[in-house]
Amino acid sequence: MIEFREVFFEYEDNKWAVENLNFSFDKGQFVSIIGGNGSGKSTIARLANGLLLSQKGKVIVDGITTNDPNIGNSIKAKVGIVFQNPDNQFIGMTVEEDIAFGLENLNVDRNEAHRRVTEVSEMLGIEKYLSSPPSILSGGEKQKVAIAGALVLTPEYLVLDEVTSLLDPISRREIISIVKSLVKNQGIGVLYITHNTEEIVDSDYIVAINKGKIVTKGKAKEVFSNVEYLHSIGVSVPGDIYVSYYLKKRGLLSEDVFFEQEIIKRLC
C-alpha cells in the first residue's frame, strides 16, 4: 500500500505546493488524480516514488517511509513512474536499449534483461521495433516504450502522470486499456493522473485536488456530481455526465443519470 499521511511539500519558494494530503491506494487498485494546472498533481506523482521527499508528514510504501535515509533504491524499485512526454525519456540508440536502460543500472545480466524486454514488448505489441531507433516511433508507440521501460523493472505500483495527454483518441484508448489490464491481470497498483476524465470513470476512486489540497475523494458518481465546482477548479467532467447535468438543469431529467445509455433510456 502507498499511504500519504498528512503530507506537505514545498519547492524552494517557501510555499506549500501540496498541503495535508491524506489518501492511500493498494496493489490491484486503479486510483486517479484530477485537478487544474498547477494544482499539485505532478508533485504528488514524484512524492509517491520518492523522487521528492515531503518536509512534513510521511509517504509510506509497503511500510517503508520514503524519506528514511537507509532504504537505498527500494522505493524506486517498487514504484515505477512514467511522464507525459516520452521524447524526454529516451536515451538509447534502439528501442531495446531504451527499455533495458533501468535494468542495466541495476546490473541485471544481459540475457535476463533481453528476456524481460522481449516479454514486456510482446505484451505491449512493440516487439517489432526493438532494434529500431526510438525516433521513428509514433507518439503512442513511444509512450508504450516508456511504459515498457517501467514494467521491465517489475514494479508493484505504477504512477502515470498524464501519459495519454499528447496522444490521439485511438492511442489513448489503447494505452488506457493496457494500463487497466496491468491492474486486473498483474495486480499492479496504479496512480493515474489525467485531465481526460472520460478515462477514469471506472476508477476504484478519484482524488480531486485544488491549490495543493484534496477537495473531494470518492467514486466517479460522487466526485463528478459537482459539475460547476469542478469546472471552477479547472476540471471538466466526462461528456455524458455533463449532458445529464445540463438536461437536469433544464428540467428534462428528474435525477442524476450518468452514462450515455442510461440517459438515452430515460429520454427515449
Footprint on this chain of ligand ATP (rule: CB under 6 A): 11, 13, 17, 35, 37-43
Nearer to ligand ATP, 38 or 187 (CB): 38
Please state the closest distance from residue 161 (CB atom) to Mg ion, in A: 6
Q: Which of Mg ion, ligand ATP, none has residue 86 at its interface (CB below 5 to 8 Å by kind)?
A: none
Q: Which of Mg ion, ligand ATP, none has residue 49 at its interface (CB below 5 to 8 Å by kind)?
A: none
Cβ(259)–Cβ(245) below 8 Å: no
Q: Residue 138 is which amino acid?
A: S
Nearer to Mg ion, 161 or 240 (CB): 161
In 3D space, the residue among 126, 124, 174, 177 whose CA is nearest the CA of residue 151 turns out to be 124
Nearer to Mg ion, 33 or 126 (CB): 33
- Applying CB under 5 A, does 42 fall inside the site for Mg ion? yes
Nearer to ligand ATP, 38 or 239 (CB): 38
Please state the closest distance from residue 142 (CB atom) to ligand ATP, in A: 19
- Applying CB under 5 A, does 39 fall inside the site for Mg ion? no
User: 485544488: which residue's cell?
Assistant: 210
CA-CA distances (angstroms) from residue 253 to 92, 198, 239, 250, 257?
55, 21, 16, 8, 8
Q: Which of ligand ATP, Mg ion, none has residue 13 at its interface (CB below 5 to 8 Å by kind)?
A: ligand ATP
C-alpha grid cell for residue 101?
536502460
Residue 82 to residue 242: CA distance in whole angstroms: 30
Q: Which stretch binds Mg ion (CB under 5 A): 36-44, 113-121, 125-133, 167-175?
A: 36-44
Please state the closest distance from residue 237 (CB atom) to ligand ATP, in A: 17
Name, in order, each residue with C-beta under 8 angstroms of 161's C-beta and a sequence gap of 6 or more. Answer: 41, 42, 45, 81, 82, 83, 84, 193
Please state the closest distance from residue 41 (CB atom) to Mg ion, in A: 5
Cβ(159)–Cβ(82) below 8 Å: yes
